[in-house]
Structure 1
Amino acid sequence: MISLIIAFSSIGSGGTGVTGSTVAREPLPKGSVSETGYYTDEVNWIGNTTTLTSGLKYFYDKTGVQPYVYITDTVNGSHYPTYDELQAYADSLYNQLFTDEAHLLLVFFEYTPSDYMDYYVTGTQAKTVVDSEAGDILLDYIDRNYYNSGLTDEEMFSNSFHDAADRMMEVTKSPWITVFVIFGALAVLIILFAWWAHAKKQKNLEAQHTEQILNTPLQKFSDSEAEDLAKKYDTPQKDEENQ
């Protein structure tokens, strides 16, 4: 039976951020789960079972943890439960529904439209994969998709579990790494361009200086300068005549 049950909750907020994954996780080994169904719908939200379960089955395949969604608008007969009551209800449901420690139970409560609460509960074995960070990832996707009016109820749950599985099973790469790489590459290009431009400028200056010297009449130089220039430019010609 379940030696320890871990429970977490969220309240709908409409936020769009999703927690990043900082841990490399390994799925549970096959055979860990005593397989069950995937959901209970007490409010008649689910019309397309295939759409709903496709994401839940993907989560199971990816993590080795079998998810179960329990949709309700009452907790022990009340439409206005407290968080503590919802958590106690979820803990009790886990023990009623499962005989292993490898399930994840999501209890999704909504009585007033656009106002929901949810709790997820994991057995101790499932907790080795769906830790608190991974659980936050799942709750973040549910919260984001819940407020996406373009999704059906089935798609909201299915997409949330599908995307959460992908994210939690890989370490999220920081976007700043890409930014730093791009800026680093740009900095190298700027340095190379500056060096090339400086070298080209120096070469042009030297060429202009040489041309200026060659076009300057010897009379404008002092005797010593004229003699040096004459030697500089006459020496190769004399060497050729001597050969």
Structure 2
Amino acid sequence: MILVVIGTVLLPLFSFGGGGSGGSSGIAKSTVERQPLPAGAVNETAYYTDEPGWISNSGELTAGMKRFYKQTGVQPYLYIAETVDGTARPTASAIQAYAETLYSQLFTDEAHFLLVFCDNGSGGYMCGYSVGAQAKTIMDDEALGILADYLDRYYSDDMGDEEFFSLTFEKTGERIMTVTRSPWPAVLTTVVVVTAVVIVVALLYKWWKHAKEQKNLEARQTAEILNTPLEKFGDTEVEDLAKKYEDDTKEE
């Protein structure tokens, strides 16, 4: 029973994560304390370009992107490309170069983050990105890795394109703006508490067992006393009294 209690308490702590479909297991940790860009850093623009016509609910898509903007001060922009330089299956270097070219065409500030997304036609996708000089204080290499992890996490989930991109940006914003705490302090605290409880339970059980054994011993001793003839106790007064009764009986 004790092992079951320990397992029940500790298992959720080892299942580190939370938030969003499937939790955050497998998502890179955020180890940098980031401060959002100041208000006015962004010349706000639209939020996406959809060349292949995937998006039918713009409100659902931009909801998560706007939350990312509010959390980070960086305005995200999604460019869904049907082709890159005339090809539907661009190389990684080609789509990255394309993103760099698009940035200067789309924005007049250095506080945007541009994600170029292209279906590779084989059940997967290709991505390129460009980050403004100011936005790099938020979208550093670690943050970009977290975004890539969320793209991989949600791409295979059964959800529409709008929800996929919206959730990816929203969860990325939440994670990169909060330092991911290690679960070990909580685990250690729980281990100490559980260990203390186990020790107390063990001591109480030992005390109860000893008390029960003592009670049983006393009960056996009492039974032995009650079942022992009086003559065996060696009491001379008792023996004399018994002899007197025997003599009186004979005389009668």
Q: TM-score, normalised by structure 1?
A: 0.75
Bigger RCO of structures 1 and 2 (CA < 8 A, at least 6 apart) = 1
Gaps of 5+ in 1: 1-15, 227-243
Determine the structure 2 residue equivalent to 1:112.
121
Rounded Cα–Cα distance in structure 2 between residues aligned with 1:196 and 1:81: 71
Following superposition, the deviation at residue 79 of structure 1 comes to 2.3
Determine the structure 1 residue equivalent to 2:139.
130
Following superposition, the deviation at residue 171 of structure 1 comes to 2.2
Determine the structure 1 residue equivalent to 2:207.
199
From 112, 135, 140, the equivalent of 1:103 is: 112
Rounded Cα–Cα distance in structure 2 between residues aligned with 1:219 and 1:25: 94
Alignment of 1:161 onto 2:169: yes
State the identity as a percent.
46
Determine the structure 2 residue equivalent to 1:171.
179
Following superposition, the deviation at residue 182 of structure 1 comes to 3.6
> Which amino acid is 1:143 matched to?
D
State the secondary structure of the residue aligned to 1:124.
coil
- Range with greater deviation from structure 2 (176-185 or 61-70): 176-185
- Whether the 8 Å contact between 1:73 and 1:111 is mirrored in structure 2 is no
Rounded Cα–Cα distance in structure 2 between residues aligned with 1:55 and 1:98: 20
* CA displacement, residues 176-206 of structure 1 (integer Å, 9 cap, x when unaligned): 5544444333222111111111122233344
Q: Which has the larger radius of gyration?
A: 2
Determine the structure 1 residue equivalent to 2:85.
76
From 139, 150, 163, the equivalent of 2:148 is: 139
Rounded Cα–Cα distance in structure 2 between residues aligned with 1:99 and 1:220: 113
Following superposition, the deviation at residue 208 of structure 1 comes to 4.4
Following superposition, the deviation at residue 60 of structure 1 comes to 0.3
Following superposition, the deviation at residue 102 of structure 1 comes to 0.9
Gaps of 5+ in 2: 1-24, 236-252
Higher strand share: 1
> Which amino acid is 2:152 matched to?
D
State the secondary structure of the residue aligned to 2:26.
coil
Determine the structure 1 residue equivalent to 2:27.
18
Rounded Cα–Cα distance in structure 2 between residues aligned with 1:102 and 1:82: 27
